[in-house]
């Protein structure tokens, strides 16, 4: 935010989206039920709040469709924060620490000025697409804060939601996990480190550079990922579904015999390509004998499978050594003989 004009004595600012909003004062009150401090800013207004929040403040609630921006030295504030409406932002570290931070549907948390690990001590829960669809969590400008690879440590999505990150930098370290049955859309280009795990529901990437190039991807049974453009993945672990664009695997596609013969197999709605040196990994070779005569089952499906990877094993395997994945016809593959035929079909 920066001041760009003055109209009839009212300061006017430009938002990241280029909209004009009037600078106003925060209306303070106390929530009758919780005793939390309430900051209210009405629609179309932007207000800075410089009063220090310390350990004596039991909690903070943001109301009103406008934007409130915390500027005080709030390092000792440990109470929970609830954003019920509008936008709440803060200078670096001004969100305080340790208490839960909850973003209700239709509200937005702006972390633009938060530096590396600034939000690590708070559990952040959110849902919805934010104020006017801008995202439940937004970061609009990384200038001056280039080391943002571990801003969040504990994030929970409580319903369908959108996370807007408009710069090419990581917001988390140690990977990104999507849990729960809802749909989460990550907008913007992401370069967070570590594995992307979808253990439930759907994770959608809303930008062509949304998935960190070459990162590992795990999609659990019943979960799904939607890609915005052709994507390169290091290691893929199923048996969930992938749609939206072609996938190239540079390391391995991993699957277990127990999943395959329970009819749980990864599904690629588009083309799957094994790059040179990529393998198909059986994660539980100890179960090969168990499923030796279970008949033909799909290990995974795709519109087209390019490349012929070698089958390898995760862990020790004392069985037959002549295991290879070989082409059969134009679009089908199988490997055996111990487990019968596990087809990779068009």
> Can you give the pLDDT at residue 345?
36
What does residue 285 show for φ and ψ, rounded to 5 degrees? -60, -20
Buried (b) or exposed (e) across 88-103, using 16+ Cβ within 10 A? bbbbebbbbbebebbb
> Can you give the pLDDT at residue 28?
96
Tokens at 60, concatenated: 């903070």
What does residue 317 show for φ and ψ, rounded to 5 degrees? -140, 125
Distances in Å between the alpha carbon of 115 and those of 18, 246, 307?
Answer: 23, 35, 43
Ranges under pLDDT 50 in the chain: 1-12, 14, 16-20, 144-149, 166-171, 321-346
Burial of 66 (0-12, 13-18, 19+ CB in 10 A): buried
Which residue ranges make up each domain of the chain?
230-346
pLDDT tens across 48-77, in order?
999 999 999 999 999 999 999 999 999 999
pLDDT tens across 72-100, in order?
999 999 999 999 999 999 998 899 988 88
> Can you give the pLDDT at residue 142?
53
> Can you give the pLDDT at residue 95?
93
């Amino acid at each position: 935010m920066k001041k760009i004009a003055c109209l009839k004595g009212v300061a006017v600012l430009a938002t990241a989206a280029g909209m004009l909003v009037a600078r106003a004062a925060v209306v303070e009150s106390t929530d009758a039920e919780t005793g939390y401090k309430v900051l209210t800013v009405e629609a179309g207004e932007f207000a800075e709040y410089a009063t220090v929040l310390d350990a004596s403040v039991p909690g903070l609630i943001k109301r009103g469709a406008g934007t409130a921006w915390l500027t005080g030295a709030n390092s000792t504030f440990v109470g929970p924060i609830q954003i019920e409406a509008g936008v709440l932002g803060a200078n670096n570290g001004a969100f305080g620490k340790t208490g839960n931070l909850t973003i209700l549907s239709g509200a937005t948390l702006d972390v633009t000025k938060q530096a590396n690990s600034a939000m690590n001590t708070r559990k952040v829960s959110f849902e919805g697409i934010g104020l006017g669809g801008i995202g439940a969590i937004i970061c609009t400008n990384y200038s001056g804060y280039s080391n943002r690879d571990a801003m969040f440590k504990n994030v929970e999505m409580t319903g369908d939601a959108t996370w807007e990150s408009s710069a090419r930098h990581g917001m988390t370290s140690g990977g990104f996990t999507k849990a729960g049955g809802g749909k989460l859309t990550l907008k913007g280009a992401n370069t967070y480190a570590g594995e992307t795990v979808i253990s439930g529901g759907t994770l959608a990437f809303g930008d062509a550079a949304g998935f960190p190039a070459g990162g590992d991807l795990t999609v659990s049974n019943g979960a799904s990922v939607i890609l915005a453009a052709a994507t390169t993945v290091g290691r893929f672990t199923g048996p969930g579904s992938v749609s939206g664009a072609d996938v190239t695997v540079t390391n391995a596609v991993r699957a277990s015999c127990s999943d395959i013969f329970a009819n749980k197999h990864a599904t690629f709605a588009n083309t799957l390509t094994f790059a040179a040196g990529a393998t198909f990994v059986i994660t539980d070779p100890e179960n090969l004998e168990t499923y030796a005569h279970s008949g033909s089952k799909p290990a995974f499906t795709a519109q087209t499978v390019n490349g012929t990877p070698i089958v390898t094993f995760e862990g020790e395997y004392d069985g037959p050594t002549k295991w290879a994945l070989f082409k059969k016809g134009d679009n089908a593959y199988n490997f055996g003989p111990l487990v019968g035929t596990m087809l990779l079909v068009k």
